Chains A and B, each alone.
Chain A
Amino acid sequence: MARANSLPLRRPPSMELPRSAARRWRLILVLTALLVAHVIGWRVTNINVPQLVFGLPNMRHIVTSLLQPDAFERSKDVIAVESLVGVLAPGTVAPAGSARRVQEPGSPQLTIVPASAAPGEIVNLQGAGWPAGKQAEAFLSQSTGGIPRSAGTFQVTSDGSVNYAFYVPEWAPNTYGIAVSVTTPQLGFRPTQTLLLCLRLMVETLFLALMGTSLALIFTLPLSFLGARNLMGRSKVGRTVYYLTRTLFNLLRSIEVVIVVTIMAVVVGIGSFAGVLAIVVHSIGALGKLYSEAIEEIDPGPIEAIAATGARPLQVIRYAVIPQVIPQFLSFTLYRLDINVRMSTIVGLVGGGGIGFILTQYINLLQWNQAGTAIWLIALVVTSIDYLSAWMREKIV
């Protein structure tokens, strides 16, 4: 059946000049306002191009270090023997005698003569049984630990004995460790301590993201149904619950994760748990909104059909809503996991554990090669997860 009585003819658009002039003035006003805002913004944010240009060379050291991450080193065979040396207060006369630790028979021997000395005096490292003709290096370390300092290199004699003299540094009176090591490079490479540590913390970070996402799911799944207008919009109570849920989602989503970690660190202490909690809080907000919107976009037909059979509300959700949202939910969850891996690294920067935590330490100690290791690892893992999640989401939808 055709319905022939036609639509009323639309009038042609009027070409009134005054209106178009008003429009032009409004445009000029808006553009002027924008220009003024940018001029003020330039000054407020202290934008200084020459500073950037002249400061760029300062970056060179950092960038070159970052490009040489501390990840792999030549495999090597290390023979090291440690002894102790006492640093005396300046002016004290050293008691006679030498120092040696109980050293295993058959291994190289190391004796310190004299066993203690004041700063500026000479101490001899003597010993036998070392690999003949090799390069040896002496190290000093504080008894409290920390990184040993090189105290110079020397040659092992052809009969395998060492005799090396060095000046005691201006250190506080105490007992210090002194070690001699001979390093023989081998074929092949092995991961450095830094890389191993970063890998371990990267795994921790991945678990942090996983736990954060999964725990958030437990809360989000039921809440998202309360935040869907098409399921809640009928009654006054329903609408109130809907608005409350959506407000909760928006609130949780709008609080920056970095801030939540700081708060959580106060509650449960610095570490991965604080990071997990922060990610849970943020993910509930972000996933809740996505889930609720997915529910709102479903075809209302099956809901009508199932409701018309006399089914109860939960049955309607089970049969008419859930089958329709499962692919969307899976996709959003994978996407969130991907974001949370990235977020977990950030969370670590402010005390949430994981690789971000060690990265801040490296940066604070200006250990740029080590920082480079962490940064490259983060980039590698985040990119891989990104591709993986995109690929899996494509499979689902």
Chain B
Amino acid sequence: MLEVRGLTKVFPNGTEAVKDLSVTIPDGQFVVVIGLSGSGKSTFLRCINRLVEPTSGQVLLDGEDVTAASGDRLRQIRTQIGMIFQQFNLIKRESVLTNVLTGALGTSTYGSSLLSRWPKDEVERAMFNLDRVGIGEKAQQRADTLSGGQQQRVAIARTLMQRPRLLLADEPVASLDPATSHSVMRYVEQINKEDGITVICNLHFLSLARRYATRVLALRAGELVADLAPEAIDPQKFREIYGEDAVEVEVR
């Protein structure tokens, strides 16, 4: 269970990206966070694994205070939280297999991992995870030779190496075309259902939120303005979240 209590992030330039945000997310939920660009979605996500340092507030993962952890303890917590990004963030010049294996860095032996000598069972697990996202045959290719959708699937395989309890997905399909978006979202949905991994996913498109979410959080100017079931988003709610002049665009 993830508990966020009074989370606030003020950037050095004075921008209040997240304001006093509190939410509790039980295990196994597929939470989609919606809101305009700049509404604080990304900052909220990055505060959970402390890629961004919160200004105040608490993040508790299964009762453990993530915000109080430091050094090795923080890294151990991070191994339990997978993350995928809009720009995939793969190591472009390395092979797909190496990219997947980097997901196991947090639990690997320090010395041999720096020399990229991976244990056989980790390589087998990496191949298994690549097969799960349907690109096992690309293992030896350089990561930048893959299409966007394939790269995001490599990123998913990378987080699976962590055996995470929680997956943070920051606009995972914003750089992809609609068809590929659904393919990637289905893999995220699959690991949520089959592995019971809690998913917190930032999305631009409401149609995707309606299709995949079990719960929707809406942010507006850093504040949580709605916490509801996906089917509860009607035109009225939509205008509250996105402003009076907004028009919904659909992705099918």
> In the complex, what distance in Å separates the CA atom of A307 from the CA atom of B76?
11
Which residue of A has the minimal Cβ distance to B101? Answer: A319
- Give the shortest distance, in Å, between B198 (CB) and chain A (any CB): 16
Chain B: which residue is nearest A1 at the CB level?
Answer: B246
A323 within 8 A of B: yes
CB nearest to B105 among chain A residues:
A311
Q: Is the CB of B114 within 8 A of A314?
A: yes
Closest to B106 in A: A310
Query: What is the total of A-B residue contacts with beta carbons within 8 Å?
Result: 107
Contact B245 A305 (CB under 8 A): no
Q: Is B81 in contact with A308, judged by CB distance below 8 angstroms?
A: yes
Please report the C-alpha to C-alpha distance between residue A323 and residue B36 in the assembled complex, in whole angstroms: 35
Check A310–B75 contact: CB distance below 8 A. Answer: yes
Q: Does B49 count as interface, using CB distance less than 8 angstroms?
A: yes
Q: Complex formed: what's the CA distance from A3 to B80 in Å?
A: 38
Could you say which interface size class chain B belongs to? 35 or more
Q: What separation, in Å, do the CA atoms of A1 and B249 have in the docked complex?
A: 5
Shortest distance in angstroms between B130's beta carbon and chain A's nearest beta carbon?
A: 16
- In the complex, whether B90 has a CB less than 8 A from a CB of chain A is yes
Docked complex: A275-330 residues within 8 A CB-CB of B: 299, 301-302, 304-312, 314-315, 318-320, 323-324, 326
Knowing A308-B78, A308-B83, A326-B93 touch, does A315 contact B242 (C-beta < 8 A)? Answer: no
Across the interface, A2 reaches (CB within 8 A) one of B90, B94, B116, B247, namely B247
Q: A2-B247, A305-B85, A324-B93 are in contact. Are A311 and B242 (CB under 8 A)?
A: no
Task: Give complex CA distance A304, B85 in Å.
Answer: 9
Instruction: Mark each residue of chain B from 70 to 97: 1 if its CB lies under 8 Å from any CB of chain A, else 0.
Output: 0000011111111101011111111000
* A319 and B91 form a contact (CB under 8 A): yes
Chain B residues within 8 Å of A323, by CB: 91-94
A301:B93 contact, CB within 8 angstroms: no
Task: A258 to B35: give the CA distance in the assembly, Å.
Answer: 62
The residue from B91, B242, B246 contacting A320, defined by CB atoms under 8 A apart: B91
Interface check B243, CB cutoff 8 A: yes
Q: Cβ of A1 and Cβ of B162 under 8 Å apart?
A: no
Give the chain A neighbours of B113 by CB distance below 8 A: 315, 318
Q: A2, A309, A320, A323 — which one has the most chain B CB atoms within 10 A of its CB?
A: A309
Q: How far is the CB of A353 from chain B (nearest CB, A)?
A: 39
Contact with A along B234-252 (1 / 0, CB 8 A): 0000000011111111000
In the assembled complex, A4 has its CB within 8 A of some CB on chain B:
yes
Cα-based distance from A97 to B100 in the complex (angstroms): 98
Residues of chain A lying within 8 A (CB to CB) of residue B155: 305
A5 within 8 A of B: yes
Q: Give Cα A304–Cα B168 distance, bound, in whole angstroms.
A: 13
Does B162 lie within 8 Å of A310, measured CB to CB?
yes
Q: A304 contacts which chain B residues (CB < 8 A)?
A: 51, 83, 85, 89
- Range of interface residues on A (Cβ < 8 Å): 20 to 34
- Contacts known (A323-B91, A323-B93, A326-B93); A309 close to B162, Cβ less than 8 A: yes
- Say if the beta carbon of B149 comes within 8 Å of chain A: no
> Closest Cβ of chain B: how far from A16's Cβ, in Å?
32
Q: In this complex, what residue of B is CB-closest to A5?
A: B245
Q: Mark B39-51, 1 if CB is under 8 A from A, else 0.
A: 0000000000101
Given A301-B85, A301-B87: A309 touches B249 (CB 8 Å cut-off): no
CA distance A251 to B117 in the complex (A): 40
Given known A5-B243, A314-B114, contact A308–B51 (CB-CB < 8 A): yes
Q: Roughly how many angstroms separate A309 CA and B88 CA in the complex, as a whole number?
A: 14
Chain A proximity of B233: nearest CB distance (Å): 13
B246 and A309 contacting across the interface, CB-CB below 8 Å = no
**Could you tell me the distance between the alpha carbons of A320 and B36 in the complex, rounded to whole angstroms?**
30
Most buried by B among A1, A4, A304, A319: A1
CB distance from A40 to the nearest CB of B (A): 46
| Contact A1 B247, CB 8 Å, known A305-B155, A315-B105, A318-B114 | yes
Complex Cα spacing A319 to B100, Å: 12
B98 to chain A: closest CB distance in Å? 8
Residue among B78, B85, B105 with max Cβ neighbours from chain A (10 Å): B105
Contact between B49 and A308, CB atoms less than 8 A apart? yes
Interface presence of B103 (CB below 8 A): yes
**Quick one: which of B89, B93, B98, B249 contacts A305, CB cutoff 8 A?**
B89
Chain A min CB distance to B70 (Å)? 11
In whole angstroms, how far apart are the Cα atoms of A305 and B100 in the complex? 12
Residues of B within 8 A of A318 (CB): 113-114, 116
Name 10 extra pairs, CB < 8 A, besides A1-B249, A3-B245, A301-B88. A2-B245, A2-B246, A301-B89, A304-B51, A308-B78, A309-B78, A315-B105, A315-B113, A319-B98, A323-B92
Q: List 12 A-B contacts (CB under 8 A).
A: A1-B242, A4-B245, A299-B87, A301-B89, A306-B91, A306-B102, A308-B81, A309-B159, A311-B106, A319-B91, A319-B102, A323-B93
3 closest residue pairs by CB, A with B: A310-B106, A310-B79, A4-B245
